[in-house]
Structure 1
Amino acid sequence: MSSSLVLPEVSGVMLLPECTLFPHGGLPLHIFEPRYREMLADSLETTCFFCVARLEGEETDDPATCTSSIGTVGLVRASREMDDGSSNLLLHGVIRVRFNEWINDASYPKARISPLPAVFEPETQSEAAIEALKEAAESALGEFSTEIGDAFYSMTESIDDPAILADVMAQQFIQNPTERHDLLEMESVAERIAWLCSHLSK
């Protein structure tokens, strides 16, 4: 996470079924519900941040009973309001967060959040971890065109942090909603990398 970004202590939260946003990934959204229109307006007037949380089952009046405790806070990169009041936007994932307390003072879900930094240890194994991830990516890209592979390598060639590379690859390659969220909630970066390498090599 860039040191120039200061996360809010309290953030609006969009509850979405079967949806996981990884840090350093992008999520296009169409905002049309009145409550989320209000959330977006408040976000754009203040920090430009809001969170995405996975909705688990039917939504209830208490988000703590129907959402995962871990999600991702994102930064609104671009937003365009349509004639009908809805908006199309791109949300850029910044960092995993824990939802510590849900606050009922707005029409939309809000939570007190704390960041969950991703640190790969031991640092001496960072190069080996990056190499293993890139080999796994080669396996996954084998069935695709050269252009797709070139685009991926261009996007990732300057990444020297295995935690960041793992999240970028998870965003791009893992499609199963449950597997995506399991990866998001996996505390150990080394475990995430091992899971990705095993999964993609198959």
Structure 2
Amino acid sequence: MSSLNIPETCGVMLLPDCTLFPHGGLPLHIFEPRYRMMLADSLQGTCFFAVARLLGKEMDDPSRCASPVGTMGLVRASRELDDGTSNLLLHGVIRVKFVDWLDSPYPKARIMPVPSLFEPESQAKGALEALHEAADHVTRGLPSEVREALVNMTEQIDDPSILADVMAQQFLHDPDERQDLLEMESAAARVAWICRKFEALS
């Protein structure tokens, strides 16, 4: 992750009921003038900005209306339209805590990266097996082509902390559960939560 040179500050897009996980993708339509400015600054710099869940009505002080943990994303593709708006794909990179909100024309914060490491490593194989079983449960009932593609995708991931985030991004839909899971510091706890949640769906 250090090779990506995570910045110390970044713009933050505040979105109601929206939680992006690391290794997930989020398509966005950027139309507000402040976020158009944020995107321009991002593309001229690191190509990073973060997404934070907006909790209720937006206030002048984001610390009073935004989730304390969000996800830093990398702009993978961005296309500016004739009217000045843009369509883009943001790829989740790493959890971040919003340490301090800065004075800016758009929401901007000093951030602290929150690395996700599965511990103890000796239990990683068992965690992967449990997640694959949970993926099997949650994809039952889907068309066979879709199910096969999703199962193949999960089987290519050999890190349980990454697989947990990918499964949360794809299969978990409740906004509160998504945010709670994003803020859960222990990767092992996230894996256990996802396994219980998805295996209960059978």
Same fold (TM over 0.5): yes
Q: Which moved more, 1:167-176 or 1:153-162?
A: 153-162
- Within 1, Cα distance between the matches of 2:149 and 2:99? 38
Please identify runs of 4+ aligned residues in structure 1 that moved more than 4 A: none
- Root mean square deviation, CA, Å: 0.8
Task: Give the letter for the 2:17 counterpart.
Answer: E
What whole-Å deviation, never above 9, does each CA across 1:65-114 have from its counterpart, x for those lacking one?
Answer: 1111100000000000011110000000000000000000x210000001
Q: Which moved more, 1:12-21 or 1:187-196?
A: 187-196
Residue aligning to 1:13: 12
Q: Contact between 2:31 and 2:86, CA under 8 Å: does it hold in 1?
A: yes
Residue aligning to 1:90: 89
Task: Give the letter for the 1:185 counterpart.
Answer: E
Write out aligned runs for 1:88-127 (5 A).
88-104=87-103, 106-127=104-125
Q: Which one of the candidate residues 157, 160, 180 is aligned to 1:159? A: 157
- Within 2, Cα distance between the matches of 1:35 and 1:20? 20
Residue aligning to 1:174: 172
Task: Give the letter for the 2:88 counterpart.
Answer: L
What whole-Å deviation, never above 9, does each CA across 1:159-200 have from its counterpart, x for those lacking one?
Answer: 111000000000000001111001000111111111111110
Task: Give the letter for the 1:119 counterpart.
Answer: L
Task: Give the letter for the 1:186 counterpart.
Answer: M
Residue aligning to 1:59: 58
- Within 2, Cα distance between the matches of 1:41 and 1:6? 19
Give unmatched runs, 5+ long, in structure 1.
none
The normalised TM-score by structure 2 is: 0.97
Residue aligning to 1:72: 71
The percentage of aligned residue pairs carrying the same residue is: 66
Q: Contact between 2:132 and 2:154, CA under 8 Å: does it hold in 1?
A: no
The normalised TM-score by structure 1 is: 0.97
- Within 2, Cα distance between the matches of 1:46 and 1:142? 43
Residue 48 of structure 2 is aligned to residue 49 of structure 1: yes
